[in-house]
Amino acid sequence: MKVTMARRSNPAVRIAQETAHSAMFDADGKPKPGVHNVLLKAVQIQRPLVVAYIRRLQKKHPRATAAQLADIAERDYLRAVAGGGALVGATAVVPGVGTVASLGLSAAATVGFLEATALYATSLAELHGIRLTNPEKAGTMVMAIMLGEEGTALLGTLSGQAAGGAKPTDVWGNILSRSSLPGFGNVRKRIQHAFLKNLLKRQGTALFGRALPFGIGAVVGGAGNLVMGRAVAANAREAFGPMPDTIPGELTAAAAPDNQALTP
C-alpha cells in the first residue's frame, strides 16, 4: 500500500508572511498609519528631477528622437526595477540578515519601485509635451497609469471638461496642466483609493517573495518587479499614444541641432 506523507509547510514562508503583514497592517487588517502617506509620496516626483534625467539621456544620445529617448527610458526603468527586486531578495542569503531585517529592505524596495515608476511615467509625459509642475497631479497621473484601464478611465471622466477629447495626449495634457479643474479632487481620491488597494495586494505578494530565504527571494523579487514594470510600461504607451515627431518645449534646446535619428 502506498503511503502518502503530508506535505510540511515551510515555516520561513509563514514567518515572512506574518511579519510582513504585521509590519504594514493592524489587527483589523487595515494599513497602519503612515503606510498610505509613504506610498503616495513616492509617486509625487518633482519636475526638475524629471527634466534633469531627460537632459542626461539627451547628452548621452544627442541625436535621439523623442521616440528613441522613450525607448531608452523604458529600458532604464525595467533594468532598475528588476535589479532592485533581485538585489533586495539576495540579502536573505547573507549570514546575519534575518527575515525581519529583509522585510525592512523589502518595504524600501516597494518605495523604490514606485519612485522609479514615477520617474519613467513622468519622463514619458514630458517627452509628449505635458509639463507636470504640480507633484500632486504628477502623482495622480502615475497612479492612473499603474492602474491601467481603470485609472485612465477615471482620469478620462474629466476629459470632456478639459479638452473635448482629441488625441489621448491632448486630453491628458489639458487635464493635468490646468491650475484648477472642477471635480479633479474627487477623481483623484477615487484613483488614490483604487491605487492603494491594488498596490497593497500586488506588492504584498512580492513583499513575501523577497523575504524568502536561501536565495529564492532574489528570483521572486526580480521577476515580480519586472512583470509589474512591463505592465506599467504597456499602460503608459497606451495611455499617451504615439510619440511626437519632434522633442517638445524646453527639451529641444538640449537635442542635437539636426535632431537626426540614432544609427542602428
7 within a domain of the structure (yes/no): no
Distance in angstroms (rounded) separating the CA atoms of residues 16 and 102: 9
3 within a domain of the structure (yes/no): no
pLDDT for residue 19? 56
109 within a domain of the structure (yes/no): yes
Let me know how long the chain is: 264
Burial bucket for residue 118 (CB in 10 Å: 0-12, 13-18, 19+): buried
Selection from 230, 118, 124 nearest residue 169 by Cα: 124
Report if pTM > 0.85.
no
**Structural domain harbouring 201:** 31-243
6 within a domain of the structure (yes/no): no
Number of domains composing the chain? 1
- Angle, CA of 206, 210 and 211, to the nearest 5°: 120
pLDDT for residue 72? 96
86 within a domain of the structure (yes/no): yes
Selection from 190, 117, 196 nearest residue 154 by Cα: 190
Q: What is the dihedral of CA 27, 147, 40, 105, to 10 degrees?
A: 70
98 within a domain of the structure (yes/no): yes
Please list the ranges in the chain whose pLDDT falls under 70.
Answer: 1-33, 85, 87-89, 91-107, 159-175, 177-182, 202-205, 207-217, 219-220, 253-264
pLDDT for residue 111? 82
Whether residue 154 contacts residue 194, with contact meaning beta carbons closer than 8 Å, is answered with yes
257 within a domain of the structure (yes/no): no
Whether residue 192 contacts residue 185, with contact meaning beta carbons closer than 8 Å, is answered with no
136 within a domain of the structure (yes/no): yes
Q: Is 60 helix (H, G, I), strand (E, B) or coil?
A: helix
